[in-house]
Structure 1
C-alpha cells in the first residue's frame, strides 16, 4: 500500500495500489488498468474502479475481484460516515443564514430553491432524496417554490415524481447539463468513429501525462496550455480533450 501526500497531509489509501499520482499532488490519478486519468482525487478514482458511475466514467478493464473489493470499501466508508452524522443537517449558524443560502433567486415574487443542504452523508435512494427535498420545501414554504432541478438519474426522477405528487404546485425538471452529458455518452458508446477517436485521444494524453519530460515539452510548445481540460460533466471532458489535441496538433 502506498503513501501519498495531499493538502490534508500524508494518508494511506487502498486505491493507490491501482493508480498513479500524475502530478504528485493527488489531484489526478492514472488508472493502471485502463490508463485513463481521473481528476478529482483518490475518492473519485475509487468510484472509477468500483464502476459506480458516480460522476466518473467506469473502468472497462478492472478485474471483477478488484471492482467488488473497491465497492465494498466505498460502502463501508459511507456507512461509517452516516453513523457519525445525522441526516438532513444543514450548513449555517442560524435559521436566517440557512434560508438565505437555500434561496438563490427571485422571479416574479416566487423564490427558486437551490441546494444549501449538505447531502454528502445522506444515502441517495429515491425516498431519501424525496425526504430531503420535501424537508427543504417545508422549511422555506411551499408557496415560495415553483421548480426543483436535479439530474435525471432514476432515483432523482422517482424523487421528483413523489415530490410533485405531494406538492401539487411544484414542477420537477431534469438538469440540462446532465442530459447533454448522457447524449455525449451515447455518442461515444454507439458511434464507432467517436469510440476510435476518443480512445486514441486518451492514449495520447495518457502517454504524455505519465512522462515528466513530455509534460515539460508539451507546456513549452503550447505556452503552458494543457491537453486535458476540466469540465463539470465527465463525457464532455473527452470531447474538450479532443478539441485541445486538434488545437495543439501543429
Structure 2
C-alpha cells in the first residue's frame, strides 16, 4: 500500500475509520454513503460522524435530536462540536491574517520605493527582520473591538445567556453575516415572530415527522388574539393540538400562570387523564418579583 493511501485511511473521518469519539455512540452502516445508526434511539441517517454528533448533541442542525441520548454524552458531543467550530474559526482567522499581512507587506514595499522610510517600517535585529505593527493592523483591531463591544452590549441589555456563543449556530450566523457583506437589513419584529418562525416550523416538522422517534418536540405557532382571554376557547385550542399530535405522544402541557390558562389546563387534564398541565416556572418567578 502506498504512503498516500495509508495516510488517507488513517484520517480521523476517513471511510471505515473509528478514530472520532462520535463513533463510540453510533454504528457505521455504509461508509460510501456515510450512513450511520444511533446506538441509543436506533435511527439510521446519512451524513457521517459529523451529523451523528449533531444528532447526539441535539443541536437541530440538519438532523433530528436523539430522544434517548444520556446527558453526559449529549454534553460531550456538544463540547466537541463547539471546539471544532472554534478551531475552524481560528484557522480561517489565521488564513485571513496571513492574507492581510501579505497585502500590507506589498503596500510597504511599494511605499519603500517612493520614500526612504525603510527603517521606520522594517528594522533588522540579530539578523532577523522584525516587523512593526502597521497603522492598518491597529485600525482593524479597533474595528473588531468596536463590533465585539456592540455584540456584547446587545447580549447584556437583552439578557441573552453568555453560553449562547458556544452554540454551533452562533459562528454560523456570524459567518453568514460576513458573507452577505455591507447593507444587510436585519429581520424585523414581524419577520422574527411570523415569517421566519413559520419557515423554521416547516423545516423542523419536515425533519421530525419522517420516522419521528418518541420524545419528539413539535413547534406550533397559532394566532390566539381573539381567544386568549377565554378559558373554554383556550381549552379547545390546546385540546385540538393534542388531538392532532396524538394523546399518546403528549406528556405535558406548559402555559403561563394566568387564571384563564390555569382554568384551561385543569379542563384539559379532566378530559385527557394521561397528560399533565404545568404553569411556566419563569412566569411564576416573574410574578413573584413583580410583587416584591
TM-score if structure 1 supplies the norm length?
0.41
* Greater Rg over alpha carbons, structure: 2
Q: State the structure with bigger RCO (CA 8 A, min sep 6), 1 or 2.
A: 1
Q: Which has the higher helix share?
A: 2
